[in-house]
Amino acid sequence: MKPIKISAGLDGSHRGLTDLYPEGEIALRDALADKPDFITEWWGSKHEIASARVFRGSGQVTVEASVSDDFDTPGRGERTGEWDTLEQVLKAIDLAWDDAIQDQKENRCYDGFSILKGNSWVETLILPRGDGLYFDSPPGDYYEWYWQGHFEIPETVKTFFMAMAHEGQTIEKDGFILEPWEKTPTPTETLMQPINHVLDTITGDC
């Protein structure tokens, strides 16, 4: 396979994974227009903890996306099709990125919550889940399990939030608000997820 260089420095895209810098866009467009099989380097995004690459073999183009977060949680996504234009490939990258984000959600060993007072953040709550139950602290370098100690919150509020956090919804008590980083889908939203995924696949031509 012919190697294709996308980025001249550390990043190949500005925002997201498909906002390629001019040199990368030209390189990928030219590679798709040529007949030989090719493989790009992994390129990163300046504003996201995410990367992507593209390769072509036996007439099939495959795009891969990879994501991480402050807790070093991996997520991978992949799409394959018979595409020959840059626009088709960029659309496929966006879909693979969505897949990677969903994979990452399933791999998380924590649930995170912001505590607000009015409109201002005052504290963070991190709860272990899955494999996280066996860890002394969350993966990464920034957090501890449970309360981070940024702000003095009444014990009655802490106890209430700890008891209700598993619901994954926004909760208010005594002027404090528990805001999940990732809300738990309602039953209706859960039923619609497979339908929405099929619609995305159809409209994305992937």
pLDDT value of position 190: 63
pLDDT value of position 10: 73
pLDDT band per the 50, 70, 90 thresholds, residue 204: low
pLDDT value of position 184: 79
pLDDT value of position 173: 96
pTM: 0.79
pLDDT of 170 > 80? The answer is yes
Long-range contacts (CB closer than 8 Å, 24 or more residues apart) made by 34-41: 34/2, 36/1, 36/2, 37/1, 37/2, 38/1, 38/2, 38/3, 38/4, 39/1, 39/2, 39/3, 39/4, 40/3, 40/4, 40/5, 40/6, 41/3, 41/4, 41/5, 41/6, 41/7, 41/12
pLDDT band per the 50, 70, 90 thresholds, residue 35: confident
Position with higher pLDDT, 189 vs 76:
76
pLDDT band per the 50, 70, 90 thresholds, residue 201: low
Q: What is the pLDDT of residues 38-95, one digit of tens each?
A: 999 999 999 999 999 999 998 899 999 999 999 999 999 999 999 989 999 999 999 9
Mean pLDDT of the chain: 90
pLDDT value of position 117: 95
